């Protein structure tokens, strides 16, 4: 019964946000901690100490591996131009590439009045600091009306 209840608690910390699933390690850690607690509670000290050591070693190893694996950062990007003054898609993709981004997908929109042309896209990079550099560059441009750059996940 304890493990079932803890399983439900662990499931409550798992979230899907866009392309990212978060909380799996936390959920597994909560469940493992409960299992170790049961071992201590019923007096099985040796297996409990061994399980504690193995759990800490595993979590430490995964943290070390995670720090060395290149991560992809995704951001939602909206950029608006006066209709007829938008830069061509190829130029926009090239500009984003120069700032270290690749475009995962792109959508187009014209507002109801027909005066604003909008690109909506998902950007991908491996360096979070590039978001700020891109934002400063876009803020300095006179040809765009508005932009939004929203990182997703961490």
How many Å is the maximal CA-CA distance in the chain? 76
Per-residue pLDDT band for 105 (boundaries 50, 70, 90) equals confident
Higher pLDDT, 111 or 42: 42
What is residue 60's predicted lDDT score, i.e. its pLDDT? Answer: 93
What is residue 104's predicted lDDT score, i.e. its pLDDT? Answer: 85
3-class SS of residue 150: strand
Query: Is this structure's pTM higher than 0.85?
Result: no
- Give 3: exposed, middle or buried? Use CB within 10 Å, 0-12, 13-18, 19+: exposed
What is the average per-residue pLDDT within 49-65? 93
Q: Which two tokens stand for residue 137?
A: 């560059």
Determine contact, residues 22/14, Cβ cutoff 8 Å: yes
In angstroms, the CA 5 to CA 31 distance is 9
* Beta-strand pair 20-22/73-82: unpaired
What is residue 10's predicted lDDT score, i.e. its pLDDT? Answer: 76
* HSE-CB for 137 with a 13 A CA cutoff: 13
In angstroms, the CA 56 to CA 39 distance is 16
What is residue 17's predicted lDDT score, i.e. its pLDDT? Answer: 67
Task: Please count the other Cβ atoms lying within 10 Å of the Cβ belonging to residue 130.
Answer: 17
Mean pLDDT for the chain? 86
Per-residue pLDDT band for 141 (boundaries 50, 70, 90) equals confident
């Amino acid at each position: 019964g304890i493990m079932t209840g803890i399983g439900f608690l662990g499931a409550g910390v798992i979230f899907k946000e866009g392309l990212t699933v978060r909380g799996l390690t936390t959920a597994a850690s909560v469940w493992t901690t409960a299992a170790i607690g049961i071992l201590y509670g019923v007096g099985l000290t040796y297996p409990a100490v061994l399980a504690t050591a193995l759990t800490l070693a595993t979590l430490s190893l995964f943290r070390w591996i995670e720090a060395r694996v290149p991560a992809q950062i995704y951001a939602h990007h909206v950029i608006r131009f006066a209709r007829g003054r938008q830069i061509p898609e190829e130029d926009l993709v090239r500009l984003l590439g120069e700032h270290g981004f690749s475009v995962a997908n792109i959508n187009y929109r014209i507002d109801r009045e027909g005066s604003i042309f909008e690109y909506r896209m998902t950007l991908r990079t491996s360096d979070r600091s590039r978001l700020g550099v891109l934002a400063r560059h876009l803020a300095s441009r006179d040809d765009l009306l508005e932009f939004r750059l929203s990182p997703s996940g961490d």
